[in-house]
Structure 1
Amino acid sequence: MTATTETTVTDERVSPPPARLSLTPADAPPGLLDGAWWPRSRDLLRELPALTARLDVCWGRITRVTVNPTHWPVIPRKVPVAGHTVGVGWFREEQDPHKLILLSYTAERGRWDLLVIPPETTAASAARLMSAAAVPGSLLTATRLMDDEVKIRDAAEERGRTSEWDAEGGAAPPRRLSIGLPASARETLGR
């Protein structure tokens, strides 16, 4: 029997890639979402430091984050971020599965809600979602935006299949008109 062990070495000189983020303008009217976040993986321990480090600058120190565990395989209780620790919690029933809530005790506003775009999303879909989630004053929920994007993607795929079918000669043959022909000729054409 063989066992494999994995040793994780952390090099503090290597910083994670910047967070892919789209935010509503600071002076915008409030909506249901404050923007969108497109993480590179479903690993909160790896993804949250870059996100909170970026948001600490514009929103004040992020102290707590909540997620719905539907899309996160492991939820750490705490995540170390440059200079402090962020507490992580989860709510299965009370929180939209496509939303991340960020809390700050040092900021005037104190709470922000972000759409979480799945890491495997294509760049085109992610761009549409990031733009839609950052619309000031929008009343669309995170799940509604994701459902709408699925409909857009499905419609585009259907259009692609139809044009491929047509390009390969799959179009139906034109109908023959039988107006003014004797009944025997119409029967022959119908076969």
Structure 2
Amino acid sequence: MSATIDFPGPRRESPADSAPIARVALKATGAARGLLDGAWWPRSRDLLSELPALVDVLDPAWARITHIAVNPEHWPVIPRKIPVHGHVVKAGWFTPELDPHKLLLLSYSVGRWDLLVIPPQTDAAAAARLMAAATAGTGPPLTASELIAAEEGLGGTPAAVRSRDVGAPEETPEEAWEYEGGAPSFRVGVPARPSRLLVGM
């Protein structure tokens, strides 16, 4: 269940409250836009505590972020306003229009960006693969949920396991690739060129 709340005002932060750096990767400058502009790996599902670090990274890289939108499926509380350093970001939510694994960011001056939201409990190796896939300029464009499903498939999640016959052993990714005729289904790879920004790992 999700809730939308009003936050009373900006928080006063002391140096001891300094937040960790956001774990985010963005597509390289000039890369094809696609469905995603990068990936964000928050440490929790608390927008009040996680968003300021992300905005600190994105404001200088893109432009001042003024609004965000999420799908409430994975966010227990969605504040209407989130104080960040120097300004307030307005938050909204959409169901079912917005992919549950995506964060939409808006700026008055520049436009819109879409980030894959990697679940906080994801291990570091899987998060690195997801960041690489979200920032890759090659292969077919995949939605945020398709990338998460592909990563779960690599980890052997039952919903994503496909066998030729019931009771047959699981296929390796290479066997599945060959069986599907080499089709670029949900293969998660390393981008051909490095991401423009990768911080907080």
The TM-score with structure 1 as length reference comes to 0.73
The code of the aligned residue for 1:81 comes to V
Instruction: Note if 1:28 corresponds to 2:31.
Output: yes
For 1:123-165, what per-residue CA distance to the aligned partner results, in whole angstroms no more than 9, with x for missing partners? 111010010000126511000000000100017xx9xxx9xxx
What is the deviation of 1:63? 0.2
Matches within 5 A, 1:38-77: 38-77=41-80
Moved over 3 A (4+): none
Q: Which residue of 92, 97, 106 maps to 1:89?
A: 92
Separation in 1, partners of 2:37, 2:109:
18
What is the deviation of 1:15? 1.6
**The structure with more radius of gyration:** 1
The structure whose residues are more often strand, as a share, is: 2
Separation in 1, partners of 2:31, 2:132:
14
Identical-pair percentage: 59
The code of the aligned residue for 1:102 comes to L
Give the match for residue 148 of structure 1: 150
How many correspondences in the alignment? 147
Separation in 1, partners of 2:63, 2:13:
26
Give the match for residue 14 of structure 2: 12
What is the deviation of 1:30? 1.1
Separation in 1, partners of 2:153, 2:29:
30
Secondary structure at the counterpart of residue 150 of structure 2: helix
Give the match for residue 199 of structure 2: none
Give the match for residue 189 of structure 1: none
For 1:164-189, what per-residue CA distance to the aligned partner results, in whole angstroms no more than 9, with x for missing partners? xxxxxxxxxxxxxxxxxxxxxxxxxx
Separation in 2, partners of 1:105, 1:40:
28
Separation in 2, partners of 1:85, 1:113:
19
Separation in 2, partners of 1:10, 1:33:
34
The code of the aligned residue for 2:85 comes to A
Separation in 2, partners of 1:106, 1:18:
25
The TM-score with structure 2 as length reference comes to 0.70
Give the match for residue 104 of structure 2: 101
Separation in 2, partners of 1:142, 1:63:
22
The code of the aligned residue for 1:33 comes to L
What is the deviation of 1:77? 0.5
Secondary structure at the counterpart of residue 136 of structure 1: coil
Separation in 2, partners of 1:127, 1:51:
17
What is the deviation of 1:10? 5.5
The code of the aligned residue for 1:64 comes to H
Separation in 1, partners of 2:106, 2:85:
17
For 1:22-42, what per-residue CA distance to the aligned partner results, in whole angstroms no more than 9, with x for missing partners? 110121111100010000000
Structure 2, unaligned runs of 5 or more: 1-10, 162-168, 170-201
